Amino acid sequence: MQSLLQIFQHWIVSHTKFIQILKLLAETGSIFIFILGSVIFFLPGSQPSHLYEVGKVAGYLAIITYWLTLIPGMLSRLRLTVSGVGMLTTFRRTLGVLMFWETLIHMMFTLGWPMILGITPLTATAPRLFGMGAVLVLIPLWITSNDLSMKVLGRKWKLIQRLTYLSLFLIFIHVSFFRGWWKFPTFLILLCELISWVSLWWREWKESQKVSISTQEVTVNSLVNEAGQVVSTPPVLPSSQPEVK
């Protein structure tokens, strides 16, 4: 199994241009589905129920895609090495973009367009509010998921990308209102993310304590050495011999 993964990873590395084309096709395909479905919604005689099912499937795919984007960072913070995770890191940004469009398709096909067309009543329920909140948080993540944003924003880019953990929390609350297989894995991912960050903060705190203790030891040793030099050096007394003139 591991040899197959190594062969696949080597193939990915040696076919960079082809992989870039696949990434572009995946992203443009998601945008095309969103635009086409949105147009069909407003066509006379269309069947919104079919597009509603497409929106549900997009929601399932969005959750799975989101898990895949979080796993590499989570394992890295836990200092765990798993075969094949490197491939997820290669496609992580593309998976994040796909996850955004899948989430947008899910929201608009199951709620947004039906509400605008009067098919679904306009009511503010908790599942809808948390779901819409997650989509709003994902918008700046999607906008800044490119190399240009990384260069322009600098350190702020990483802070913006960490909004993904807020969206994870909102998504978990959103799916908790529904019955389905996705609830437990989403909760498990959320729990593992929390554990990974706590473990990282704990290691950083321990390292800072070690640095602080070593700095104090160096300071104490230097003071002791200086004190020893002062004690070992005899005072210079004035000469008792008469001064030669």
pLDDT in tens, 153-211: 888 888 888 888 888 889 888 988 888 787 888 888 889 889 998 998 898 888 888 77
Question: What is the pLDDT, as a whole number, of residue 161?
Answer: 86
Cα dist from 142 to 62, 101, 115, whole Å:
14, 9, 25
Residue 239 is classified by DSSP as: P
Q: Considering only residues 10 and 37, tell me which one the structure prediction assigns the higher pLDDT.
A: 37
Break the chain into its structural domains and give their ranges. 2-205
SS3 of 58-113: the string is HHHHHHHHHHHHHHHHHHHHCCCCCCCHHHHHHCHHHHHHHHHHHHHHHHHHHHHH
Tally of CB atoms within 10 A around 245: 3
pLDDT score at 195: 92
- According to the model, what pLDDT value does residue 8 have? 55
Q: Which of 57-71, 188-202, 215-229 has the lowest mean pLDDT?
A: 215-229
Does residue 106 register a pLDDT over 90?
Answer: yes
| Phi/psi at 70 (5° precision) | -85, -25
State residue 6's pLDDT score.
Answer: 60
